[in-house]
């Protein structure tokens, strides 16, 4: 429906634009064709063009034979074709920088970019989908990737399409589907770090200089190679001029070219995303590198992670210890009959999972993947934050946490079901309900039905804190209780426990206090029975099918334990952290790397 509506709007706006821009007609009065090579010709003709569009005949021909037709009006000034002609992208004339003779101009059509496959629109974006200022034109195109040949641009890699938006975002699309692969900041002003950073690797102390890019420290890629040369994490750096690519080879010593470990500019300068492709051991990798004053800079932690090692920072000072005694990529726990690896350690940073999908993070960018197929469902960088998944929906944020756009979206369709701007944030979402926090109002919090956007009125004096399976953890004057949304009743009164910490499938992990004596317990919500009796030895972090994640406060070690037999399914200390225990799976963390394991008991 959205595409049909936009198309109808486009026709109306197009007719208006013909009159408004009569001195610069948006469509040519003469037929035209584009020779794509190898016998492929894209031919576009108008009949009866005299202020009216008339009949349009557009299509791709191979050796004179029609391959497909395009039954959509086109703005032909900016067309980008795949090598085989099956895919092409259309950017309206007054959206593109190049069509506006270098001027920032407004956009007279209802969309910014359309992706076609075999003559059919497979995806399109409105200006506001890609740019925060919908009145500005939004696009320049990466000419490193495209060779200009008269009216057309010829794709070099046949896979992706990159644009830069007016507000400085560098967006990569899949050429055949139009889906966003990544959405990054394109150019920015960067500041040199006040002091050099001390890097200690295998007892060797080195100082390197870098820039602060947003929140992260970036160093010359060659300086990183120089520091690691002679260690087990060494890698070489070469330049492939023909393919505009940086070639990294692990295990090889770095060959200095001069200028390594030199200082950097003392003033602010501009950083742009590195246009060159980066390959490690023959495979393309994505480092999120920047080109600053003609030199490529990368995050030290990202490079070392890519090589399979970890980085730790010490204190407030700029001091980095590299732990390269072993590679975390090579670490595999001994075979266990109790669990197996659903997603291994050498994958993305796993944040949370539910409904067969996982929120994952790569280089501080969030995405959602299908756990079984590993298919990317929400591309990395499309949103600045992805918080949680529930019932096929995702809670996402664009912009900063406290003044950005907070939304609940349907993952399958991409439709935004609810959106809130500025001083309204979503603090929890589960099973069709959401908790809102109003930052600028005395009222504070609200519980709403996502489908209807209607508020669920809680008993007077209570405000919602957390959601789980139709239950709301509520608070009144610092005391916790439990409210059932469907029945509208309090099922655990405030003050029954000192604190209700977590909810798990009909159970709650609570803390006792006061005259009853301090301690933690896992209780059955319906009966109040203590499944794990009151104690001070364990904290419960998750429950599934008669098993629980237990943490010992004494040494902070964590395990999965059978509640009936006491058997340690995953022993204490095997992993640094265990969380998100649902659907027979849990997230485990070891030395900063994460995996999803399936529990077979």
What DSSP string describes 282-308?
TEEE----EEETTEEEE-HHHHHHHHT
Q: What is the band of 425 on the pLDDT scale with cuts at 50, 70, 90?
A: confident
Query: Does pLDDT of 393 surpass 90?
Result: yes
Q: Is the pLDDT of residue 534 over 60?
A: yes
Is residue 202 scored above 70 in pLDDT? Answer: yes
Highest mean pLDDT out of 118-132, 314-328, 570-584: 570-584
* Beta-bridge partner residues of 285: 278
Whether residue 474 has pLDDT greater than 60:
yes
What is the predicted pLDDT for the residue at 128? 63
Q: How far apart are CA 28 and CA 457, in angstroms?
A: 60
Show the domains of the chain with their CATH numbers.
2-184 (no CATH), 188-330 (no CATH), 342-456 (2.40.10.480)
Please determine, for residue 331, whether its predicted confidence score (pLDDT) is greater than 70. Answer: no
Instruction: Tell me the residue ranges of DSSP E strands in 13-112.
Output: 32-37, 40-47, 55-62, 65-69, 79-81, 87-90
Closest CA relative to residue 80, chosen from 111, 39, 49, 34: 34
pLDDT of residue 335: 42
Q: Which residue has the tokens 């916790």?
A: 480
Q: What pLDDT is stored for residue 177 in this prediction?
A: 80
How are strands ordered across the β-sheet holding 393-398? 385-390, 393-398, 405-410, 416-421
């Amino acid at each position: 429906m959205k595409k049909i509506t936009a198309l109808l709007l486009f026709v109306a706006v197009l007719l208006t634009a013909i009159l408004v821009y009569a001195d610069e007609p948006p469509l040519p009065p003469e037929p035209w064709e584009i020779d794509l090579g190898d016998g492929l010709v894209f031919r576009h003709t108008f009949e009866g063009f005299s202020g009216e569009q008339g009949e349009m005949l557009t299509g791709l021909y191979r050796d004179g034979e029609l391959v497909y037709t395009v039954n959509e009006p086109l703005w032909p000034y900016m067309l980008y074709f795949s090598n085989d002609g099956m895919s092409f992208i259309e950017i309206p004339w007054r959206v593109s920088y190049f069509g506006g003779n270098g001027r920032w101009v407004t956009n007279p059509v209802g969309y910014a970019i359309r992706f076609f496959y075999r003559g059919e629109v497979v995806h399109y974006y409105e200006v506001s989908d890609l740019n925060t200022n919908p009145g500005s034109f939004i696009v320049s195109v990466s000419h490193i990737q495209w060779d200009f040949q008269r009216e057309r641009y010829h794709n070099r890699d046949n896979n992706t399409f990159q644009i830069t938006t007016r507000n400085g975002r560098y967006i990569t699309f899949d050429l055949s589907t139009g889906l966003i692969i990544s959405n990054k900041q394109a150019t920015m002003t960067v500041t040199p770090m006040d002091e050099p950073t001390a890097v200690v690797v295998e007892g060797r102390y080195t100082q390197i200089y870098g820039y602060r890019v947003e929140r992260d420290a970036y160093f010359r890629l060659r300086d990183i190679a120089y520091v690691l040369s002679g260690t087990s994490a060494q890698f070489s750096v070469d330049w492939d001029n023909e393919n505009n690519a940086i070639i990294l080879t692990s295990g090889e010593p770095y060959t200095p070219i001069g200028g390594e470990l030199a200082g950097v500019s003392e003033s602010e300068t501009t950083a742009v995303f590195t246009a060159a492709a980066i390959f490690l051991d023959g495979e393309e990798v994505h480092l999120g590198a920047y080109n600053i004053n003609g030199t490529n800079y990368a995050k030290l932690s990202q490079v070392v992670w890519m090589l399979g090692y970890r980085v730790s920072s010490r204190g407030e000072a700029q001091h980095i210890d590299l732990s390269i005694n072993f590679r975390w990529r090579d670490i595999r726990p001994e075979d266990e009959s109790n669990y197996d690896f659903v997603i291994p350690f050498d994958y993305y940073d796993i944040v949370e999972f539910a409904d067969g999908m996982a929120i994952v993070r790569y280089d501080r960018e969030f995405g959602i993947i299908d756990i079984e197929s590993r298919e990317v469902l929400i591309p990395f960088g499309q949103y600045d934050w992805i918080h949680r998944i529930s019932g096929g929906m995702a809670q996402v944020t664009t912009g900063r946490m406290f003044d950005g756009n907070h939304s609940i979206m349907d993952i399958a369709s991409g439709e935004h079901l609810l959106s809130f701007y500025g001083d309204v944030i979503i603090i929890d979402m589960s099973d069709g309900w959401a908790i809102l926090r109003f930052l600028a109002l005395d009222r504070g919090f609200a519980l709403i039905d996502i489908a209807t956007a209607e508020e669920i009125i809680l008993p007077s004096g209570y405000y919602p804190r957390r959601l789980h399976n139709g239950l709301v953890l509520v608070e009144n004057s610092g005391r916790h209780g439990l409210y059932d949304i469907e029945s509208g009743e309090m099922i655990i009164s405030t003050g029954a426990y000192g604190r209700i910490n977590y909810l798990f499938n009909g159970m709650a992990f609570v803390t006792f206090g006061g005259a009853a004596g301090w301690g933690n317990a896992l209780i059955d919500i319906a009966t109040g029975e203590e499944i794990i009796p009151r104690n001070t030895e364990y904290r419960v972090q998750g429950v599934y099918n008669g098993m629980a994640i237990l943490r010992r406060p004494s040494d902070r070690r964590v395990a999965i334990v059978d509640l009936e037999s006491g058997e340690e399914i995953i022993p204490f200390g095997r992993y640094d952290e265990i969380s998100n225990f649902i659907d027979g799976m849990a997230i485990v963390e070891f030395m900063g790397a994460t995996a999803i394991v399936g529990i077979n008991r």
